[in-house]
Amino acid sequence: MSDDDDTTVPTKANEAPAPQKRNAFALMTSSSASAAAAPSKKPKLAGSSALDGLLPYIERPASFPPSILISHTPTHVAIRDLYPKASVHTLLIPRSHSHMLLHPITAFDDAPFLAATRAAASTLADLVAAELSRRFGAQDGRDWRREVRVGVHLVPSMNHLHVHVLSRENRSERLKTAKHYLSFNSPFFVALEEFPLKKEDWRRGEEGRRRAEGLLKGSLVCWRCGEGFGRAMKRLKGHLEVEFGRWKVEGGGEKGGEAGKTAKAAKTAETAKTEKAGKAASAAASKPVAAAASSASAAPAQPSPSNPASPASGSETE
């Protein structure tokens, strides 16, 4: 498989693991959870193809080295994504035979299954947070768990159900295309906490999935500060490097992302208001005195904050 796919694929089962430092991932791998037995029954396959690349992890997780496998239990397998789209990118793969080939929306309509998946995902998210703290430092008051995202794609790239558990910052050499970025930074990515979806939710059904594909053709916007880049992935990548340095120190979410978006929106609205006032003044100055006096009695038009002119948006292509 190419790195256009967002999930990992098996390597040789007998591959010897490279020496590793003892870290959060290594500790998890060596836990008793990794020794759990695999399901006794084999699932019915939709077919043998590259899209079934996650099946070997379900059937024989213990055959994979610690460089890939994080943990496994009778109900779930946790692995590192071979094509990560963030500093730490893992996958949680349910092993339930009755759910593994279902679309996420359908699978998570099952309340007990959803609860079990949430519990397993929470454990993996805590591990990802611990790894972020190990890599970037245990800063005073920094809650790295807030920097971890858990969710699925509306149109999965693999046949078998899987949940992405990854860090927030979108920094990876494998993040190469606009499609890669938007698959995690648009409604195409659905947080696990949103499930089960309401019956009338637009994301249900074939029409919703067709609309979801269109989301990958949208404009690129920085997840943290809100700056727009059209479809210029190269410029966005450079910008994300700068934001990565800030994120490591300041964080995202309320500290970085939301505050940055609020500040940018306010600045954009103020710029639009100033430009409009300047145009109005210029137009008034060019009219006869009588016309200007007449127009002065009319109420001035108010700017629309819901649709400000954003100087950062554009139509530049990749």
Model confidence at 18, in pLDDT bands (50, 70, 90)?
Answer: very low
Out of 134-148, 209-223, 301-315, the most confident range is 209-223
Question: Beta-strand (E) ranges in 127-258?
Answer: 148-153, 163-167, 189-191
* pLDDT tier, 207 (very low <50, low <70, confident <90, very high otherwise): confident
Q: What stretch of H or E contains 130? A: helix 111-136
Could you tell me the two tokens for 113?
């299954």
Both tokens assigned to 219: 């404009």
SS3 (DSSP) at 197:
coil
In sequence order, what are the beta bridge partners of 92? 78, 163
- More reliable by pLDDT, 160 or 299: 160
The interaxial angle of helices 259-286 and 289-296, nearest 10 deg, is 140
Q: Quick check: 135 pLDDT over 80? A: yes
In sign, the C-alpha dihedral spanning 61, 64, 66, 67 is negative
Q: Which residue has the higher pLDDT, 14 or 151?
A: 151
The residue ranges of DSSP E strands in 168-290, in sequence order, are 189-191
**Number of C-beta neighbours around residue 193 at 10 A:** 9
Residues 6 or more apart whose Cβ sits within 8 Å of residue 7? 53, 54, 81, 82, 83, 91, 157, 158, 162
Distance CA 279, CA 298 (A): 16
Is the CB of residue 12 less than 8 Å from the CB of residue 63? no
Contacts 24+ apart (CB under 8 A), 13-22: 13/56, 13/60, 13/63, 13/64, 14/63, 15/65, 15/67, 16/65, 17/65, 17/66, 17/67, 18/67, 20/66, 20/67
Buried b (16+ CB within 10 A) or exposed e, 89-108: bbbbbbbbeebbbbebbebb
Q: Which segment of 67-81, 157-171, 176-190, 298-312 scores lowest on mean pLDDT? A: 298-312
Write out the DSSP string of 302-316. PP-TTS---TT----
Contact in structure between 156 and 212 (CB atoms under 8 Å): no
- 152, 192 Cβ separation under 8 angstroms: yes
Matching residue, tokens 């899209």: 51
Collapsing DSSP states into helix, strand and coil, what is residue 34?
helix
pLDDT of residue 298 exceeding 90: no
247 and 265 Cβ atoms separated by less than 8 Å: no
> Would the CA dihedral through 276, 279, 281, 283 be positive or negative?
negative
| Residue among 109, 143, 111 nearest 128 (CA) | 143
20-52 per-position pLDDT tens digit: 444 545 544 444 344 343 444 444 444 458 899
